[in-house]
């Protein structure tokens, strides 16, 4: 019998809060918390919205302590380990799969505003490469296994999960800690503004009036193991990753590569399109992403596109970390009996032919598709289920 | 003087486009009326090139081009671009 | 061990501060495409991989695994300068290229392949970890052909040697690539072991207890110190050693460069490559040439 990978533990810190209960509750009642951030360094006379973690009143990127980055990271990981109920021996046995877009840039930026050293020189001295954060995790928690840090832009932590699951299925490893983490950084915020991809006020993916994305910061961690610990643990059924070579920043609007990713994931999971009960769309709210993704869903699902939800309006686009963060938000809501609706969505775009959920949808056992796309043409689809394991 | 009549400004813009968009053409080869963007244009610049040029313009001339539709209109050719930067 | 056959290998190395125009010139030997809006890391990636593929006809589903210690961090430093020193929004091309996945993207686009496209890193063992991902994809039948490489710039590589007392190689730009499939036909060699160990003693135990004959050539990665290398030599008694770090220099992707160089230089030989990270986790790669 084929071995499966199960999500046995999870934790997240995001703009909605620190605990799964408050986050799912906020999703159920469409409560969102949006902050405004100025472009002070570039002297621009306006602000843009951002989904900021606010652990205490007045928490803002420019008044965070040096330790803040690792506080968030270690707190999330330790609660995920606790949630899974793994013992010290099992923690020692883990392997770490890390996904992020900004990697250690937020640490550098946090330190930099306290000094006057040359930026690039100081950055190159302080950075020890992309593997540094995963290295800090294994050191802090006494994890003995290997580290894999994925740098594939917005699909980074989705790819981290894809490989962690595949390694468990192929019996290369017993258990994995998968972490997606992107904290606020000027590089990403200013960079997206330079690309004119930031929305002005409200996050409205798939809406006729959508005008871009709103970034967010969050840390999500899941424990994957080769056996179910709780009856409602989600099981990984399959996934796929391919490269859409159309353009470095956008995808082919016909949606062929994105559809191919979904189809390959379905084939890997041994499923047909009609087996999917709901789709968590990537839905960045940019013109190109939403057009491409909806076209692709029409290619894959034909006239019977399953119920679709876009969860970014809850926590923002958490870039490389969105793979794990959105998986947690989506699957934990289902455990509580609902697929969350898409806040901010009001008016269908007739060119898209897809209308996301406007009200929460009752959900029980099912099979769910989660889609993620990123710069560099990266496309990733994951399929998970909370049904009983086959066999 | 209107920008399209200012040879110095137009050459400055041509050089800026060549540098910023990392294209192999000589600035002198770009005609004042040549289309800059799209498949019919010899340079074949795209929307990311337009954004790149916008930031460079912002830094050099302190002029902000607000939305992408305006960008396309302004940057249709060297002449339209020069007139936008220097209306009279 | 699943079948991982090596069909082609190539290494591009250059002295630090190699000009991007020189890299563009070199790339023109393999492709007519004119690359613009790209940086040195991307050009090194394309050049090394194109050299490796050369005239091989690639399947459209070929996967790309780009392993790197520092990826596009050079570009990231420049973009941070724009924000903090110039006090400007960053220029789009620079910002886009802070994402290291763009290098593997431009390579896939140039080659016309749309298999998996992964950029992965792991302190000091990036290439070894990338090979493990490839191994699991072959085992699961997900991929049928792959390009795997390691790319790092000289200017960023020194930082990764921190804590390696007495290791002073010259820094180079490195891009080492291998074209690998699960098919033996037409292959010149194969990976026969890709193993990880939690500590030195378990690595040594495994090497001492192996029943198959010792490898012809041994090579040590950058974090194996002189003393440790000496004691490993005593255990392994290799007929020869390939000290690629001393001969050719170091980059963050030295392992990928060393291994792809071995394929070219030591035909008909087997190689045992031993490396470790800062924690003392070990990784062993064995390859056999036919």
DSSP string, A130-149: TTHHHHHHHHHHT--S-EEE
B80: in domain? yes
| Separation of alpha carbons A372 and A70, rounded Å | 26
pLDDT tens for each residue of C264-281? 999 999 999 999 999 999
Same domain, C148 and C216: no
Q: A135, C85: Cβ pair inside 8 Å?
A: no
**Structure confidence at residue A391 (pLDDT):** 45
Chain A residue with Cα closest to C78: A120
DSSP code at position C209: H
The CA-based angle C88-C89-C90, given to 5 degrees, is 105
User: Partners of C12 in the beta sheet?
Assistant: C175
Question: Are the C-beta atoms of residues B2 and B83 closer than 8 Å to each other?
Answer: yes
Answer yes or no: do C112 and C233 share one domain: no
Which residues of chain A does B68 touch, with a Cβ-Cβ cutoff of 8 Å?
A: 196
How many interchain CB pairs under 8 A, B with C? 28
Q: Give the whole-angstrom CA distance, residue A106 versus residue A100.
A: 11
- Which DSSP string corresponds to B46-79? -HHHHHHHHHHHHHHH-----SHHHHHHHTSSHH
Q: Is B43 helix (H, G, I), strand (E, B) or coil?
A: coil
Residues of C in Cβ contact (< 8 Å) with B22: 36-38, 93
3-state secondary structure of A158: helix
Best B50, B56, B59 residue to mutate vs chain C (most C CBs within 10 Å): B59
| CATH of region A5-225, choose from 1.10.287.990, 3.40.50.300, 3.40.47.10, 3.40.50.1100 | 3.40.47.10
Give the whole-angstrom CA distance, residue A261 versus residue C124: 32
Cα-flanking dihedrals φ and ψ of residue C11, to 5°? -130, 135
Among residues C70, C92, B20, C118, which one has the least CA distance to residue A376?
Answer: C118
Secondary structure class of A13 (helix, strand, coil): strand
Give B-chain residues touching C91 at CB under 8 angstroms.
20, 52, 55-56
pLDDT in tens, chain A (391 residues): 789 999 999 999 999 999 999 999 999 999 999 999 999 999 999 999 999 999 888 888 888 887 999 999 999 999 999 999 999 999 999 999 999 999 989 988 877 765 556 677 777 766 678 999 999 999 999 999 999 999 999 999 999 999 999 999 999 999 999 999 999 999 999 999 999 999 999 999 999 999 999 999 999 999 999 999 999 999 999 999 999 999 999 999 999 999 999 999 999 999 999 999 999 999 999 999 999 999 999 999 999 999 999 999 999 999 999 999 999 999 999 999 999 999 999 999 999 999 999 999 999 999 999 999 999 999 999 999 999 866 4
**Which stretches of chain B sit within 8 Å of chain A by CB?**
48, 51, 55, 67-68
CA-to-CA distance for C164 and C219, rounded, in angstroms?
17
CA distances in angstroms from A62 to A27, A106, A122, A152, C229, listed in the order given: 28, 11, 19, 27, 48
Residue B72 lies in a domain: yes
Last residue of a domain, one of C133, C158, C181: C181
Distance between CA atoms of residues C255 and C262, nearest Å: 10
> Cβ of A128 and C160 within 8 Å?
yes
Q: What is the mean pLDDT of residues C136-147?
A: 96
Burial class (CB in 10 A: 0-12, 13-18, 19+), A89: exposed
Dihedral angle of Cα A165, A166, A169, A171, to the nearest 10 degrees: -110
**What b/e sequence results for A353-387 when a residue is b if at least 16 CB atoms lie within 10 Å of its CB, and e otherwise?**
ebbbbeebbebeebbbbbbbbbbbbbbbbbbbbbe
Same domain assignment for residues C34 and C169: yes
Residue B37 belongs to some domain of the structure: no
* List of chain B residues whose C-beta atoms are within 8 Å of the C-beta of residue A194: 51, 55
Q: Please, which chains are in contact with A (at least 3 CB pairs closer than 8 A)?
A: B, C
C145-160 b/e with 16+ CB inside 10 Å = b? bbbbbbbbbbbbbebb
Domain count, chain B: 1
Task: From chain B, pick out residues whose CB is under 8 angstroms from the CB of C86.
Answer: 59
When divided into structural domains, chain C yields a total of: 2
Contact A196 B55 (CB under 8 A): no
- Contact (CB<8Å) C92/B56: no
Mean pLDDT confidence for B35-56: 91
| Among C197, C203, C196, C191, CA closest to C270 | C191
For chain A, give every residue range classified as CATH 3.40.47.10. Answer: 5-225, 237-385
d(CA A371, CA A381): 5
Task: Print the domain residue range for C218.
Answer: 190-289
Q: Output the six-digit token pair for A203.
A: 């996050």
Residues in CB range of C211: below 8 A, 6 or more apart: none
**pLDDT value for C212:** 66
Which stretch of A276-285, C73-82, C256-265 has the lowest confidence by average pLDDT?
C73-82
By CB atoms closer than 10 A (0-12, 13-18, 19+), residue A272 is: exposed
- Burial class of residue B88 in the structure, from the number of CB atoms within 10 Å of its CB (0-12 exposed, 13-18 middle, 19+ buried): exposed
Domain that holds residue B73: 1-22+52-88
Residue B5 lies in a domain: yes
Angle at A148 between CA A257 and CA C155, to 5 degrees: 95
Q: Which fold has domain A237-385?
A: Peroxisomal Thiolase; Chain A, domain 1 (3.40.47)
For residue A323, give how far its alpha carbon lies from the nearest alpha carbon of chain C (Å). Answer: 15
Q: Which residues of B touch C78 (CB under 8 A)?
A: none
Residues C169 and C194 grouped into a single domain: no
The more confidently predicted of residues B45 and A391 is: B45
How distant, in Å, are the alpha carbons of A143, A230, A231, A287, A322 from that of A8? 17, 7, 10, 36, 19
Locate the chain A residue with the closest alpha carbon to B65. Answer: A196
Q: What is the DSSP letter of A171?
A: T
- The pLDDT assigned to A129 comes to 84
Are C162 and C32 in the same domain? yes
Short-list A14, A345, A26, CA closest to A184: A14
Does A194 sit within 8 Å of B68, measured CB to CB?
no
Mean pLDDT of all residues in C6-21: 94
Strand-pair partners of A184: none
Structure tokens at A32: 């969102």
At A116 the pLDDT is: 55
Contact C37 B55 (CB under 8 A): no
3-class secondary structure, A9: strand
Condensed to tens digits (0 to 9), the pLDDT of residues C213-235 reads 678 999 999 999 999 999 999 99
pLDDT at C1: 66
- On chain A, the residues whose CB falls within 8 A of the CB of C129 are 146-148
Do C46 and C132 belong together in one domain?
Answer: yes
Judge whether C118 and C67 are in contact, CB under 8 Å: no
Interface check for C78 against chain A (CB to CB < 8 A): the answer is: yes
Q: Distance between CA C147 and CA C49 in Å, rounded?
A: 7
Residue A271, phi-psi category: left (phi > 0), alpha (psi -120 to 50), beta (remainder):
beta
Alpha helix segments (H runs only) across chain A: 20-28, 68-84, 88-92, 105-112, 119-126, 132-141, 156-169, 186-194, 256-269, 287-301, 312-315, 322-335
Q: Between residues B43 and A8, which one has the greater pLDDT?
A: A8
Residue C228 sits in a domain of what CATH number? 3.40.47.10
CB contact under 8 Å between B55 and A194, yes or no, is yes
Nearest-Cα distance to chain B for C96, in Å, is 10
- In angstroms, the CA C189 to CA C204 distance is 25
Task: Report yes or no: C102 at the A interface, CB cutoff 8 Å.
Answer: yes
Interface test with A, best of C70, C84, C92 (most A CBs within 10 A): C84
Q: Which of C176, C55, C73, C107 is nearest to A119 (CA)?
A: C73
Q: Report CA torsion sign: C214, C219, C223, C229.
A: positive
The reply to whether B33 falls in a domain is no
**Amino acid A117: pLDDT:** 61
* Separation between Cα atoms, residue A193 and residue A187, nearest integer Å: 10
């Amino acid at each position: 019998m084929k071995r499966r990978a199960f999500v046995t533990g999870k934790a997240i810190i995001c703009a909605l809060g620190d605990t799964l209960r408050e986050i799912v509750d906020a999703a159920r009642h469409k409560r969102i918390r949006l902050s405004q951030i100025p472009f002070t360094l570039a002297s621009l006379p306006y602000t843009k919205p951002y989904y900021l973690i606010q652990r205490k009143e007045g928490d803002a990127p420019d008044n965070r302590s040096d330790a803040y980055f690792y506080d968030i990271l270690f707190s999330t990981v330790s609660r995920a380990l606790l949630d899974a109920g793994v013992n010290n021996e099992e923690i020692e046995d883990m392997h770490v799969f890390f996904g992020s877009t900004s990697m250690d840039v937020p640490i550098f930026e946090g330190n930099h505003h306290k000094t006057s050293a040359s930026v690039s020189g100081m950055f190159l001295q302080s950075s020890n490469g992309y593997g540094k954060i995963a290295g800090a995790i294994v050191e802090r928690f006494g994890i003995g296994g290997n580290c894999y840090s994925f740098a594939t832009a917005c699909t980074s932590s989705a790819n981290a999960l894809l490989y962690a699951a595949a390694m468990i299925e192929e019996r290369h490893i017993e258990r994995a800690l998968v972490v997606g983490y992107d904290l606020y950084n000027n590089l990403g915020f200013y960079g997206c503004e330079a690309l004119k991809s930031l929305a002005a006020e409200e996050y409205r993916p798939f809406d006729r009036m959508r005008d871009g994305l709103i970034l967010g910061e969050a840390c999500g961690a899941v424990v994957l193991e080769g056996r179910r610990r709780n009856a409602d643990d989600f099981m990984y059924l399959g996934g796929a990753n391919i490269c859409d070579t159309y353009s470095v920043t956008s995808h082919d609007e016909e949606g062929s590569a994105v559809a191919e990713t979904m189809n390959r994931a379905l084939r890997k999971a041994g499923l047909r399109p009609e087996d999917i009960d709901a789709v968590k769309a990537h839905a960045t709210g940019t013109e190109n992403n939403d057009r491409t993704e909806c076209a692709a869903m029409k290619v894959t699902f034909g006239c019977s596109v399953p119920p679709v939800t876009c969860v970014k309006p809850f926590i923002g686009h958490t870039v490389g970390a969105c793979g794990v963060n959105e998986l947690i938000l989506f699957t934990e809501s289902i455990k509580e009996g609902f697929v969350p609706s898409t806040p901010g969505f009001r008016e269908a775009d007739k060119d898209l032919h897809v209308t996301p959920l406007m009200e929460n949808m009752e959900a029980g056992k099912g099979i769910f598709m989660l889609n993620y796309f990123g710069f560099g043409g990266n496309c990733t689809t994951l399929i998970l289920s909370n049904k009983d394991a086959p066999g | 003087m209107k920008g399209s009549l200012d040879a110095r400004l137009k050459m400055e813009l041509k050089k800026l486009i060549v540098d910023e968009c990392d294209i192999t053409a000589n600035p002198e080869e770009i005609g004042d009326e040549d289309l800059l963007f799209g498949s019919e244009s010899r340079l074949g610049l795209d929307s990311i090139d337009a954004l790149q040029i916008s930031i460079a313009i912002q830094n050099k001339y302190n002029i902000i081009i607000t939305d992408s539709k305006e960008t396309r209109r302004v940057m249709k050719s060297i002449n339209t671009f020069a007139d936008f930067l220097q209306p009279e | 061990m699943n079948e991982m056959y090596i069909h082609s290998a190539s290494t591009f190395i250059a002295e630090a501060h190699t000009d991007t125009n020189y890299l563009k010139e070199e790339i023109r030997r393999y492709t007519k495409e004119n690359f613009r809006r790209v940086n040195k890391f991307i050009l090194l990636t394309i050049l090394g991989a194109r050299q490796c593929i050369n005239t091989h006809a690639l399947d459209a589903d070929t996967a790309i695994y780009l392993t790197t210690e520092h990826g596009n961090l050079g570009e990231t430093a420049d973009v941070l300068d724009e924000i903090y020193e110039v006090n400007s929004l960053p220029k789009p091309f620079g910002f886009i290229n802070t994402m290291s996945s763009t290098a593997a993207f431009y390579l896939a686009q140039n080659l016309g392949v749309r298999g998996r496209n992964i950029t992965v890193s792991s302190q000091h063992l990036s290439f070894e970890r990338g090979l493990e991902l490839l191994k699991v994809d072959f085992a699961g039948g997900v991929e049928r052909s792959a390009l795997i490489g390691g790319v790092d710039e000289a200017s960023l590589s020194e930082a990764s040697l921190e804590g390696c007392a007495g290791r002073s190689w010259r820094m180079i730009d490195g891009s080492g690539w291998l074209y690998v499939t699960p098919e033996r036909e037409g292959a010149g060699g194969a990976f026969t072991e890709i193993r990880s160990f939690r500590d030195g003693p378990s690595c040594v135990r495994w090497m001492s207890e192996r029943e198959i004959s010792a490898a012809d050539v041994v090579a040590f990665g950058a974090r194996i110190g002189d003393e440790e290398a000496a004691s490993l030599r005593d255990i392994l008694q290799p007929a020869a050693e390939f000290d690629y770090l001393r001969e050719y220099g170091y980059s963050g992707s030295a392992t990928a460069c060393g291994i792809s160089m071995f394929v070219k230089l030591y035909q008909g030989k087997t190689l045992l490559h031993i490396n470790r990270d800062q924690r003392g986790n070990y990784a062993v790669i064995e390859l056999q040439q036919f």
